[in-house]
Amino acid sequence: MKYDYLIVGSGLYGAIFAHEAAKLGRKVLVVDKRPNIGGNIYTEDIESIHVHKYGAHIFHTNNKKVWDYITQFADFNRFTNSPVANYKGELYSLPFNMYTFNKMWGVVTPDEAAAKIEKQRREAGISEPQNLEEQAISLVGRDIFEKLIKGYTEKQWGRDCKDLPAFIIKRLPVRLTFDNNYFNALYQGIPIGGYTKMMEHLLDGIEVRLDTDYLENKDELDALADKVIYTGPIDAYFDYQLGTLEYRSVRFENEVLDISNFQGNAAVNYTDRETPWTRIIEHKWFEFGKDADGKELPKTVISREYSSEWQPGDEPYYPVNDVKNAALYEEYKKLADSESKVVFGGRLGEYKYYDMDAVIASALEKCKEELS
């Protein structure tokens, strides 16, 4: 065998495993079917702007170990995520906070906001929320559900809010303070110089073959290594033999504009049902509108995001963590557990709605188990 590990996927999980294994003297080969490294966090330079090609990524964590680890490979700026919701031209502050409640109801004090939410919760008669709709109404009341959650969520997930699990909406904070920092994390920011540079540092000195689909060249690639770390979709690995897991996919429509400021914020969510896109990202604002030398950028790049049901051939972005898919995943997991030479990891390998920090923690844990 030429390599100790064949690592399928050059995203965060694969790159961290590769880095740690190589550091310990193991021979590793990374393959990725895409033409670029970095998985979903890859950034591409357009007009000196780091464009988040596979969706906007804001790093945030409360885990000091994860933060200390990742900051070996990049310095982070102080970007704080504060998206704006646009409902038919009305603008609201996100996540739900006193600015949102004031705009929605004219309330001024936290007590008034709490009373308004409580009144709408009581009117809806929900005691134990069973789905996303009930959970949302009991957290923020019906008005906010109708204007800021329902349309966005149904576009994002392609499902009625009554058919989605409650936990998805619990990702969104609700605050009775004037604090619109989306992620209440101890550590937050964007890697200076872009995510791609950070991933290049992680993969420094490691052999990477791009445009190489593992599943299409499985026998040949398996013959090269003792063990495989697989970070692609778990159902694809098993040739969908138990059926396909559902994913949501996203199509990104990029535009370079000859103006310096399109929307004045990195993220604007379009929360009505009729606008076909879920949100518009204006990438330059992740880095305060400046280039690497601190010069103001004359142009701007925006991406409209359209969410769709995943079809074979599309990029699988979001696992659909409902009961049906969770049960099917458990069946695939049993098959995965019986593959002694393959480790399944990452967002697709474990079919989990992982943020970057959770992927880093999970990869480091696996390194400890596998490499020591």
What is the rounded CA–CA span in Å between residue 244 and residue 251?
20
The C-alpha atoms of residue 242 and residue 324 are separated, in whole angstroms, by 13
- Interface with ligand UDP in residues 153-182 (CB under 6 A): 153, 156, 168-169, 171-172
Active-site residue flag, 45? no
Q: Does 280 bind ligand UDP (CB under 6 A)?
A: no
Q: Residue 146 carries which DSSP code? A: I
| Phi and psi torsions of 159, nearest 5° | -140, 155
279 counts as catalytic:
yes
Q: How far apart are CA 193 and CA 185, in angstroms?
A: 22
Which is the catalytic residue, given 45, 90, 111, 171? 171
Q: Where do contacts with ligand FAD occur on this chain (CB under 6 A)?
A: 8-14, 31-34, 39-41, 55, 57-59, 213-215, 231-232, 250, 317-318, 346-348, 354-357, 359
- C-alpha triplet 261, 262, 265: angle, nearest 5°: 85
Using CB distances below 5 to 8 A depending on partner kind, what does residue 234 bind out of ligand UDP, ligand FAD, none?
none
Using CB under 6 A as the binding rule, whether residue 135 contacts ligand UDP is answered as: no
Residue 121 annotated among the catalytic residues of the structure? no
Nearer to ligand FAD, 215 or 335 (CB): 215
Residue 96 β-bridge partners:
174
Q: Are 161 and 150 in contact (CB under 8 A)?
A: yes
Torsions phi, psi for 8 (to 5 deg): -95, 110
- Is residue 148 close enough to count as binding ligand UDP by CB under 6 A? yes
**What is the smallest separation between the CB atom of 143 and ligand FAD, expressed in angstroms?**
27
CB distance 309 to 158 below 8 Å: yes
Which among 35, 49, 51, 42 has a CA at the least distance from the CA of 197? Answer: 42
Our answer to whether residue 26 is catalytic in this structure is no
Q: Is 34 a catalytic residue?
A: no
Which residue, 175, 217, 184, is CA-closest to 33? 217
Question: Quick one: 66 or 94, whose CB is closer to ligand UDP?
Answer: 94
Phi, psi (deg, nearest 5) at residue 194: 95, 160
Task: Enter the DSSP assignment of 220.
Answer: H
For helices 356-371 and 12-23, give the axis angle rounded to 10 degrees: 30
Identify whether 353 is a catalytic site residue: yes
Please select the residue that binds ligand UDP; options are 22, 29, 51, 85, rule is CB under 6 A: 85
Choice between 237 and 346, CB closer to ligand UDP: 346
Measured from the CB atom, is 214 or 285 closer to ligand UDP? Answer: 285
Active site residue 133: no
Least distance (Å) from ligand FAD to the CB of residue 146?
25
Among 61, 82, 97, 269, binds ligand UDP (CB under 6 A): 269
Q: Interface residues with ligand UDP (CB under 6 A)? A: 85, 94, 148-149, 152-153, 156, 168-169, 171-172, 269, 271
As annotated, the active-site residues are 171, 175, 248, 279, 305, 353, 355
